[in-house]
Amino acid sequence: MSKAKTRYVCQQCGGASPKWVGRCPECGEWNTMAEEAVEAPAEQRRPALLRAHPQPITQVRAEAEPRIPCGLSEFDRVLGGGAVLGSAVLIGGDPGIGKSTLLLQVCAAVAAQGKRVLYVSSEESVAQTKLRAERLAIASDNLLVVAETSLEQILSHIENGQPQFVVIDSIQMVYAPGFPSAPGTVTQVRECGAELVYLAKRTGVTVFLIGHVTKEGAIAGPRVLEHLVDTVLYFEGERFQAFRILRAVKNRFGSTNEIGVFEMREAGLVPVQNPSGFFLTQRSRQGSGSVVVPCIEGTRAFLVEVQALISRANFGVPERKVSGADYNRVCMLLAVLEKRAGLMLGGQDAFVNIVGGVRVDEPAADLGIALAMASSFRDKRLPDDLVALGEVGLAGEVRGVGKIEARLKEAQKLGFRRVILPHDNEYPKSLTGMTARHVSTLAEAMEEMV
């Protein structure tokens, strides 16, 4: 009997080598190479999905993808209007963030529509899943639950039960018996994921895979798992705060710019219809170093509070700490404030925080961040009813941004009456009741401090 061929695969990035090496040639990590089988047994190989022939693209009929509403408005928003039939969705997040709770609620909502749903728990027993369902007040005969880790058994349950919606919680614990490696390794995750994706495409079943994340925040296992599926979602938030954010980083059937906001309560996750009010609920209206910025995520506008604290450095090299914004961009704004606005910040500690844990990366927040730092340094407040937006250049100029009307409508709805705008942006004629101050430079914007 011939010996099976093997290779060495990196458990971090999936890079392969024909022989063992101490350092992965792909990602450079040490001691991550593990021996694994090269080829799957013949019975594991999958046939072609369709026996189709090439045809001119002009003759291809474009049809809208049928979708299943998932029952949670914020969840449907991120997916692009619901889950596409026959699609595979990967959702990742920190342990305890609420991934299982979210998908169990989605399963209950889909089952309430009369569709057959299968929830496969590979980490918990059926009794543990039942306890969670009781806490969420979930009870439906269309929702089937099974505790299983064998891929063959899971596929058998799907083939026999013929559900329309399947959740695998989690993919890292599922294993294919035909491979000698342990569950969670590169080969097991890749092959199990590929088999489930193939099943979704072949049968039209919608499959959701829950994945663990590493300490760096990426989904554990090889990156090929993200390439296999149609949609990749990240469930983010602080475990000790009530809000959660669902963000799409890949979506073949919709936008990757949308976010969904949820609040964690005793009865489960509740969609937040007004994120602006949620993020500004505990805003302090006293003291310097605070300004509100209208941001855009996909088609949604919402307001966030930017806080900054500038204080004299007492231990040599000044500290720069940033939470929720790009660190390099904040350092650039500090340099612009010193060079173009005359603020001596070289010996000052700088701390910037986007309140609520949300992350803001768009350049339109530059002006708000710069004003918050200048306000803290001078210990002068900005008006409570003021919002600021604009991109700041290295010359200290304030440049125009997009979707002004959507941003200002959201600000006006929450009672803000003044706005600092770039000179390149016109104030929308459809809006009344707000006072606009157009500025060309950062120094002009700083005149609004009182």
Sketch the domain layout of the chain as residue ranges.
6-39, 65-273, 278-448
The Cα–Cα gap between 248 and 244 comes to 13
- Residues near 297 by Cβ (< 8 Å), separated by ≥ 6? 257, 258, 259
Q: What is the pLDDT of residue 42?
A: 43
**How many Cβ atoms are within 10 Å of 247's Cβ, its own excluded?**
19
Nearest-CA neighbor of 300 among 341, 339, 247? 247
The residues with which 363 forms a beta bridge, in sequence order, are: none
Question: Which position has the token pair 């693209």?
Answer: 57
CATH superfamily of 65-273: P-loop containing nucleotide triphosphate hydrolases (3.40.50.300)
- Residues near 244 by Cβ (< 8 Å), separated by ≥ 6? 97, 98, 102, 235, 236, 237, 261, 262, 263, 264, 269
Contact 387, 419 (CB under 8 A): yes
Give the angle 118-123-125 at the CA atoms, nearest 5°: 70
Q: How far is CA 141 from the centre of its chain?
A: 32
Phi, psi of 158 (to 5 degrees): -70, -45
- Mean pLDDT within 16-28: 82
Query: What tokens appear for 113 in the block?
Result: 């529509």
pLDDT confidence band for 1 (50 / 70 / 90)? very low
The Cα–Cα gap between 322 and 365 comes to 14
Q: What is the pLDDT of residue 258?
A: 83
Q: What global pTM score does this model have?
A: 0.76
Residue at 366: amino acid letter: D
Q: What is the pLDDT of residue 43?
A: 47
Contact 398, 440 (CB under 8 A): yes
- Mean pLDDT within 25-52: 65
Q: What is the pLDDT of residue 5?
A: 67
Q: Is the pLDDT score of 49 beyond 60? A: no
- For the segment 59-78, what is each residue's pLDDT rounded down to a tens digit? 888 777 789 899 899 999 99
pLDDT confidence band for 9 (50 / 70 / 90)? confident
- Mean pLDDT within 9-25: 79
Fold of 278-448: Ribosomal Protein S5; domain 2 (3.30.230)
Query: What tokens appear for 293 in the block?
Result: 């910025």
- For the segment 121-156, what is each residue's pLDDT rounded down to a tens digit? 999 999 999 999 999 999 999 999 999 999 999 999
Contact 101, 119 (CB under 8 A): no
Q: What is the pLDDT of residue 205?
A: 94
State in Å, rounded, how far the first CA of the chain is from the last one.
Answer: 85
How far is residue 187 from each of residues 31, 40, 101, 150, 223, measured CA to CA in Å? 17, 10, 28, 15, 12
- For the segment 387-408, what is each residue's pLDDT rounded down to a tens digit? 999 999 999 999 999 999 999 9
Q: What is the pLDDT of residue 196?
A: 94
**Please, what is the average pLDDT of the chain?**
87
